[in-house]
């Protein structure tokens, strides 16, 4: 587990921004993006968020957590600083991982509603408003969209757990009740996030912390709702350069959720 450090936040102020997020004193939505050596995909994500925030009339703040990278020339924060205005940028001195990075962003957030958005996600006009409204209407739930690949094919309508602790995408509406949805795009209340103590850092650097969080939410009587009328593009590569080894994270998950996993089907 890696200890959380106090976040130092600076606001980007490029003289020639490609995207601008107007400053709002009381945002209704805080959008948190965690990056680790992320390239052009983050530019595209911020472009889409800037256009959608304006089109949907949302008083939003965008927080980018640029996790420390062994090669600082790969730092996403450098790109964000020179290409944007109004982004709240956090640059930890360590790699906090996915969970720790999102926890740091959430701690700096000022809005009552949170959105966790991966840097390889592209949103369209109307989608932020639809997901925000869905999350507000059911504050005990995590709200997520259907995820699609860039070619328009379906990636998931939520996810389900099978009996070895692995997970499978739901690809047919109504075929299964989702155990969780990928945290590539989550909307939820800051109260729910705080009540659950954020993402568990035992899964550092990444994977299974979203499954764990969703199951903890379900234990409190909540869970996950997939707004399948909203289809968000997820390029599905984010900051990773090769398939990750998640055996450690899966074992942590199996040890904590034995009874849940044992109750799930084989496939």
In a domain, 2, yes or no: no
pLDDT in tens, 33-68: 999 988 789 999 999 999 999 999 999 999 999 999
Q: Is residue 4 part of a domain?
A: no
Tell me the per-residue pLDDT of 88-102, one tens digit each, with 9 for 90 and over: 999 999 999 999 999
CATH number at residue 20: 3.90.550.10
pLDDT tens, position by position, 242-254: 567 899 999 999 9
Question: Which range of residues forms the domain containing residue 104?
Answer: 9-262
Query: Residue 152: inside a domain, yes or no?
Result: yes
Residue 267 resides in a domain: no
Over residues 181-222, the pLDDT tens digits come to: 999 999 999 999 999 999 999 999 999 999 999 999 999 999
Read off the pLDDT of each residue in 159-182 and give the average, rounded to a whole number: 95
> What pLDDT was estimated at residue 239?
47
Residue 95's Cβ-side half-sphere holds a number of Cα atoms within 13 Å equal to: 15
- Higher-scoring residue by pLDDT: 240, 67: 67
Candidates 178, 165, 158, 163; CA nearest to 248 is 165
Least confident stretch, 2-6, 61-65, 74-78: 2-6
DSSP characters for 209-233?
HHHHHHHHHHHTT-EEEEEEEEEEE
Residue at 92 is within a domain: yes
Q: Nearest Cα to 129, choosing from 201, 36, 213, 232?
A: 232
Identify whether 60 is part of a domain. Answer: yes
pLDDT on residue 237: 54
Distance, CA of 3 to CA of 30 (rounded, Å): 23
Q: Kindly give the interhelix angle for 209-219 and 247-256, rounded to the nearest 10 degrees.
A: 20
1 found inside a domain? no
Number of compact structural domains in the chain: 1
Specify the pLDDT at position 5: 53
Q: Is residue 76 part of a domain?
A: yes
Q: Residue 45 is encoded by which pair of tokens?
A: 């994500």
Query: Token pair 């600076």 is at which residue?
Result: 10
Percent of the chain with pLDDT over 90: 85
């Amino acid at each position: 587990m890696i200890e959380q450090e106090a976040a130092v936040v600076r606001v980007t102020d490029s003289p020639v921004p490609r995207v601008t997020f107007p400053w709002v004193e009381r945002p209704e939505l805080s959008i948190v993006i965690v990056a680790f050596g992320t390239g052009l995909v983050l530019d595209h994500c911020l472009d889409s968020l800037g256009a959608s925030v304006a089109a949907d009339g949302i008083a939003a703040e965008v927080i980018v957590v640029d996790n420390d990278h062994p090669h600082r020339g790969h730092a996403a924060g450098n790109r964000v600083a020179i290409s944007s205005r109004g982004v709240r940028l956090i640059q930890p001195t360590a790699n906090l991982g996915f969970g720790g990075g999102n926890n740091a962003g959430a701690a700096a957030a000022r809005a009552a509603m949170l959105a966790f958005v991966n840097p390889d996600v592209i949103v369209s006009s109307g989608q932020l408003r639809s997901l925000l409204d869905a999350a507000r209407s059911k504050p005990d739930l995590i709200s997520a969209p259907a995820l699609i690949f860039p070619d328009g094919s379906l990636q998931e309508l939520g996810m389900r757990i099978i009996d070895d602790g692995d997970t499978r995408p739901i690809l047919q509406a109504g075929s299964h009740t989702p155990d969780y949805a990928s945290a590539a795009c989550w909307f939820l209340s800051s109260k729910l996030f705080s009540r659950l103590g954020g993402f568990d850092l035992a899964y550092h650097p990444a994977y299974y912390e979203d499954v764990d969080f969703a199951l903890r939410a379900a234990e409190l009587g909540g869970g996950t709702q997939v707004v399948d009328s909203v289809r968000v593009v997820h390029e599905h590569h984010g900051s990773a350069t090769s398939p990750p080894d998640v055996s450690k994270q899966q074992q942590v998950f199996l040890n904590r959720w034995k009874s849940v996993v044992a109750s799930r089907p084989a496939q």
